[in-house]
Chains A and B, each alone.
Chain A
Amino acid sequence: DGGITQSPKYLFRKEGQNVTLSCEQNLNHDAMYWYRQDPGQGLRLIYYSQIVNDFQKGDIAEGYSVSREKKESFPLTVTSAQKNPTAFYLCASSTSTGTGVGASFGQGTRLTVV
């Protein structure tokens, strides 16, 4: 079945450590996105990529980094510069930036700083 796989589902990080969240899709979608979700805040865009080896900052990119070396993969690194990283992270993909049938979402990764 086609879809988006995020791993791990739960992740714990010590303060000062970098951590990488995985996102893989087999939908042959061109565009991929990372959103952060906090209670009462909705989804806020961190980074997005429309094509391999290219990506753009979203509204809250500070403290995060991404790469897009393969069409099907878009990992997100939460760096130690991110002051409040505890949140639910959602990866999404679409046939092109925001259009088509809308975006498909993964099941999310809950990151907790301990």
Chain B
Amino acid sequence: AQSVTQPDIHITVSEGASLELRCNYSYGATPYLFWYVQSPGQGLQLLLKYFSGDTLVQGIKGFEAEFKRSQSSFNLRKPSVHWSDAAEYFCAVTSGNTPLVFGKGTRLSVIA
């Protein structure tokens, strides 16, 4: 069965600092991987996705993520965080023909 682990429940960073949110997945074959962002009381917005090819993928809002098969990881990064990035972030995985399986999320707080 597929599963996703986001080890950090809550992260606080200073505005302008770099950010890395961790995601580890469990799946036997090559997964389809996603990062979504959710503002309070809202739906989820897709930040980026990985299907195949280049293991470093670029997304919206200046985010990027790197797929590392050897570590079963798909960590999300941003070089300089803005206050508007404060939100909850979800990593998700699918085999390609099954519904998305989500991690429990990481809440990001940004301080001045």
Q: Which residues of A contact B (CB under 8 A)?
A: 4, 6, 31, 33, 35, 40-45, 48, 58, 88, 90, 92, 96-99, 101-108, 110
Contact = CB atoms under 8 A, between A and B. Distances in A.
Contact count band on B: 20 to 34
A98 B25 CA distance: 16
A98 B95 CA distance: 8
Contacts of A6: 43
A101 B96 CA distance: 10
Contacts of A43: 44, 90, 100, 102
Interface string B78-112: 00000000000010101111111111110000000
Contacts of B11: none
Contacts of A88: 41
Contacts of B17: none
Contacts of B56: none
Contacts of B90: 42-43
13 contacts: A35-B102, A42-B105, A48-B99, A88-B41, A90-B43, A97-B97, A98-B32, A99-B97, A102-B49, A102-B100, A105-B44, A106-B43, A107-B43
Given A98-B95, A102-B34, A108 B104 contact: no
Q: In the complex, which of the residues B95, B97, B100, B103 has the most CB atoms of chain A within 10 Å of its own CB atom?
A: B100
Query: Closest 3 CB pairs between A and B?
Result: A98-B94, A42-B104, A105-B43
